[in-house]
Structures are given as C-alpha cells and as structure tokens.
Amino acid sequence: METREKILLEAVKLFASAGFGAVTVDRIASAVGIKAPSLYKHFKSKRDIFQSILSEMERRDAENAESFSLPADTAENDPEGYQGIPVTALLGFCREMFVYWTEDEFASAFRRMLTVEQYRSEEMNRLYHQYLGEGPLQYTADLLGSYDEALTLYAPMHLLYGIYDSAGDKQAVTARLEQHLKTWYKERTGGNDNELSEK
C-alpha cells in the first residue's frame, strides 16, 4: 500500500474510533509509522486528509454503481439512466453494498465515523445522510419509482449496519440481510428464492 493510501486509511480509522476533533496529525503519522513532516509531504493539514477521504469515497461510489450498470448520477441529471433497471440488479447492488459498508476496512471506518460524528457537526450530519441516510434511500426510490417501496427495502438494511458492528456472529447478520432481500423480492414480484439467487 502506498504511503498516501495508508495515511487515508489510518486517518479514517482513527476518526471512527476517537472522533475527528480528537485526532491530531501527529497521531495519524504515528499510526502510519512516519513522522509528521513526512505526512505533510502528502497532505497540507488534517482537513486536507479529510477532503481526500471524501474524494476517495466519491470515486468508490461511482465505481460501485457502474459495476452493477446502475446510474452514478442523480435521477434529475440522468432520468434515462433510471429507466428499466432490473429489480435483481438493484438487489445484487444492495447485497454488495452491505458487504462493502461492513467488511471493507476503509468504507466501514468511514461509515462508523459518520455515524458518530453526525451529532457533532452539520457537515458530518449532511455527509451521513448523503452516504447512509436519505441519499441511498432516495437513490433506491428513484430506481424503484416509489419512496414507500424504497423504505421497505432500505430501512432494514440500514438498521443491520449497526447490528453488524456489535454482533458476535457477523455472518448471521449478513444472513438476515439475505433473507430480507429474498422476502422483499418475493413480495414485490412473486418470484422465488432460486430466481433471485441466480441473478
């Protein structure tokens, strides 16, 4: 891993565990295994590190959407991109996003950071809703054409993020998500579990 990438990873992990305000540049440098002057060769400040974390998350978001042939832009900017999306593609995306937000070291730390920090600043609250709250809920609603259907699909998934973090058996939580997706699919389409699993 390149030094710059390691700085971002260690920083977001520290922000998640100690809080953004409590973490210093020296502490980030120490976690990386370098001195602060070396860190400043890559970033101007703690704020610069944070902005780079956001840029990395934006890049990852776009890549994740593209990998499932889902629109990366908003429905307002790309209305045609939201037409004719197969439900199975959306559910596959939900499944992968759950794994991403819980198991990917960088994304999981970012999610936990926003969960804690949303109560400390307006900026963090806005980012929390952009990435984990109203943002994905509205994206799902735009794909499904129904806010109510999006709620029934996304709300349990959102709840399971928090349950996953403190669960002793994390595989059981992932299995709960899988059962939820299958149940939602059957209720919406009348399809069966095998049909969904094959997609």
CATH at residue 36:
1.10.10.60
Q: pLDDT for 30-87, tens place per residue?
A: 999 999 999 999 999 999 999 999 999 999 988 888 888 888 888 899 898 899 889 9
Provide the pLDDT confidence category of residue 109 given band limits of 50, 70 and 90.
very high
Do 121 and 179 lie in a common domain? yes
Average pLDDT taken over every residue of the chain: 92
182, pLDDT greater than 90? yes
Do 81 and 125 lie in a common domain? yes
Cα distances (Å, whole numbers) of residue 73 to 19, 65, 139, 160, 185: 31, 9, 10, 26, 25
Q: Which domain holds residue 102?
A: 68-197
Provide the pLDDT confidence category of residue 197 given band limits of 50, 70 and 90.
low
Q: Identify which of 60, 53, 56, 40 has the alpha carbon closest to the alpha carbon of residue 124.
A: 53
Residue 27 lies in a domain: yes
Residue 191 lies in a domain: yes
The rounded distance, in Å, linking the Cα atoms of 171 and 91 is 18
Cα distances (Å, whole numbers) of residue 92 to 51, 88, 114, 148, 172: 30, 6, 25, 20, 18
At 64, list the tokens: 């994740």
**pLDDT score of 72:** 81
Residue 102 lies in a domain: yes
Do 95 and 186 lie in a common domain? yes
* Cα dihedral 40, 46, 47, 50 sign: positive
pTM: 0.90
**pLDDT score of 111:** 97
User: What is the count of structural domains for the chain?
Assistant: 2
Do 115 and 149 lie in a common domain? yes
Residue 62 lies in a domain: no
Mean pLDDT of 81-94: 91
Please write down the long-range contacts of 89-94, taking CB distance under 8 Å and 24 or more positions apart: 89/199, 90/140, 90/143, 90/144, 90/153, 91/181, 91/184, 91/185, 91/196, 91/199, 92/68, 92/199, 93/64, 93/65, 93/68, 94/153, 94/154, 94/157, 94/177, 94/181
